Structure 1
Amino acid sequence: MPLVNMKPLLRHAMDNGYAVAAFNLVDYGTTKAMVKAAEELNAPVICQTSAKTIQYFSHREIVSWVRTVAEESPVPVVLHLDHCKDLAMIEECARSGWTSIMIDASEYPFEENLAMSLRVRDIADRYGVGMEAELGQIMGVEDDMVVDEADSVLTDPDDARRFCDALDLSAFACAVGTAHGFYKGEPVVDFDRIEAINRATGTPMALHGGTGLSDETFAKAIARGAAKVNISTNLKHVFVESVEDYRRKNPDDYEPLRVIDAQYQACKALFAGFIEKFGGRDTAPAFLASLRETA
């Protein structure tokens, strides 16, 4: 089916107590694996792209990958631009076929962040795509962006209300104690803050820093309104380690397709596990029915 807008999908997820898994694709193989995993579970999925991935490949290549696998699949697929600070890249993504875009101006003071985010709101409206924005600084490493623990700032619910009221977001990314990358210690997630922010904004929350969180943490966050959960670091490790593992077990095998398939299967299993964990199984039909009702 055609790529879908993220806004109605996350609203359905929030209203029905599940979260949509959002994975940062690496190449065509990982793109196909995440959509096939979703298809086998009859679930929606969000294929995310980092700015770095777009720079390495191209807008045209990435759109072609995602459209190819999505159009052959019966489940809803979103193509989303993850953390981006470049307004020109954001507009090019919206123009090229992404169905959701994210501005990350969280490093700036509130008013400057809001002003930049409002410019992206105009872009999203112009192209009819969903929008995510971030308030508060999430610690850790995301591609080339580094936020030290001392510089991280948890999101204030009152500021969150002002921010979301002005922007009409599809997803609201905020700092609630999670971190990008692998956790060095036990993460301290502020569930009361998640609940307070969702009560204040009524906006589906995007939970960044999903790699390494416990099943219990995911369940509590989703029950309090997290409707999108990002997984990136975990995929990077499986992407590389699956090839290393295959080579250890098959040192004399130089057939590329068998190596590629081992990587594909490992990544697909990872995706399926998270989709199941977030409650996505068998949610696609109800979401698609809700779209038909509002059409």
Structure 2
Amino acid sequence: MPLVNMKPLLRDAMDNGYAVAAFNLVDYGTTKAMVAAAEELNAPVICQTSAKTIQYWSHKEIVSWVRTAAEDSPVPVVLHLDHCKDLAMIEACAQAGWTSIMIDASELPFEENLELSKRVRDIADKYGVGMEAELGQIMGVEDDMVVAEEDSVLTDPEDAKRFCDALDLSAFACAVGTAHGFYKGEPVVDFDRIEAINKLTRTPMALHGGTGLSDETFAKAIARGSAKVNISTNLKHVFVESFVKYHTENPKDFEPLRVIDAQYKACKQMFSGFIEKFGGKDRAQPFLASLKQAA
């Protein structure tokens, strides 16, 4: 089926108490594995792209992968641009076929962040795509952007309301104690803040820094309105480690397709685990039925 807009999908997730898994694709194999995992579970999925992945492969290649994987699929698939600061890249993605775009101006003061985000709102409206924006500084490393723990700033719920009211977002990314990358200690997630922000904004929250969080943390965050959960670092490790593991166990096997297949299966298994953990199983068809009713 055609790629879908992220806004109605995340609204359905928030209203029905589940979250859509969002994975940062690496290549066509990981893209194909994401969609295959979603199909087996009758679940929606978000294929995300980082700016550096786009720079490496190009807009044309990436959108062709996702469209090819999704065109014969019965489940909803979103192509989303993750953490981007470049307005030219944001518009190029929207024009090329992405169905959701994200501006990350979270390092700027509130008014400057809002002003830049409004410019991206215009781009999203121009191309009819979903939009995510961020308020507050999420610690860790994401796409070569580094935020030290001492520089992280948790999102104020009242500021979040002003921000979301002005932008009509598909997803709202905010700092609630999670971090990009692997956690060095026990993460301290502020569930009260998640709940307060969601009550004030009524905007589906994107939980960044999902790698390494416990099942209990995911469940609590989703129950309080986190409708999109990002997984990137975990995929990077499975992608590399599965390749190395196969070659280590089969040192004389130099048939590339067998190595690639082992990598594909390992990534697909990881995707399936997170999709099910976030409550996405069997949510695809009810969502699509609701779209038809609304049309």
- Pairwise TM-score range, normalised by the shorter structure: over 0.9
Q: How does 1:80-91 map to 2 (within 5 A)?
A: 80-91=80-91
Match of 1:139 in 2: 139
Give the Å deviation of 1:140. 0.2
RMSD: 0.3
> What code does the residue aligned with 2:223 have?
A
Q: How does 1:165-184 map to 2 (within 5 A)?
A: 165-184=165-184
Q: How does 1:147-158 map to 2 (within 5 A)?
A: 147-158=147-158
Distance 1:157 1:109 in 2: 16
Match of 1:21 in 2: 21
Any stretches of 5+ residues in structure 2 without a counterpart? Answer: none
> What secondary structure is seen at the aligned counterpart in 1 of 2:102?
strand
Match of 2:163 in 1: 163
Q: Which consecutive segments of 4 or more residues in structure 1 shift more than 6 A?
A: none
Match of 2:5 in 1: 5
> What code does the residue aligned with 1:206 have?
A
Match of 2:243 in 1: 243
Distance 1:146 1:126 in 2: 31
Distance 2:220 2:98 in 1: 30
Distance 2:206 2:193 in 1: 14
The answer to whether the aligner puts 1:54 opposite 2:54 as a matched pair is yes
- For residues 235-259 of structure 1, what are the alpha-carbon distances to aligned partners after superposition, in whole Å with 9 as ceiling and x for unaligned? 0000000011001110100000000
Match of 1:112 in 2: 112
Match of 1:289 in 2: 289
> What code does the residue aligned with 1:288 have?
L
Match of 1:44 in 2: 44
- For residues 8-65 of structure 1, what are the alpha-carbon distances to aligned partners after superposition, in whole Å with 9 as ceiling and x for unaligned? 0000000000000000000000000000000000000000000000000100000000
Distance 1:60 1:244 in 2: 29
The answer to whether the aligner puts 1:196 opposite 2:196 as a matched pair is yes
Give the Å deviation of 1:203. 0.1
Distance 1:253 1:106 in 2: 47
Give the Å deviation of 1:143. 1.4
Match of 1:92 in 2: 92
Distance 2:53 2:243 in 1: 20
> What secondary structure is seen at the aligned counterpart in 1 of 2:282?
coil
- For residues 101-121 of structure 1, what are the alpha-carbon distances to aligned partners after superposition, in whole Å with 9 as ceiling and x for unaligned? 000000000000000000000
> What code does the residue aligned with 2:143 have?
D
Match of 2:205 in 1: 205
Give the Å deviation of 1:291. 0.3
- For residues 146-205 of structure 1, what are the alpha-carbon distances to aligned partners after superposition, in whole Å with 9 as ceiling and x for unaligned? 000000000000000000000000000000000000000000000000000000100000
> What code does the residue aligned with 1:135 have?
L
> What code does the residue aligned with 2:108 have?
Y
Distance 1:183 1:74 in 2: 36
Any stretches of 5+ residues in structure 1 without a counterpart? Answer: none
> What code does the residue aligned with 2:210 have?
G
> What code does the residue aligned with 1:158 have?
E
Match of 1:122 in 2: 122
- Percentage of pairs with the same residue: 86
In the alignment of these two chains, the number of paired residues is 295
Distance 1:95 1:251 in 2: 45
Give the Å deviation of 1:122. 0.1
Taking structure 2 as the reference length, what is the TM-score of the superposition? 1.00
Taking structure 1 as the reference length, what is the TM-score of the superposition? 1.00
Distance 1:85 1:35 in 2: 27
> What code does the residue aligned with 1:215 have?
D
Distance 2:215 2:153 in 1: 25
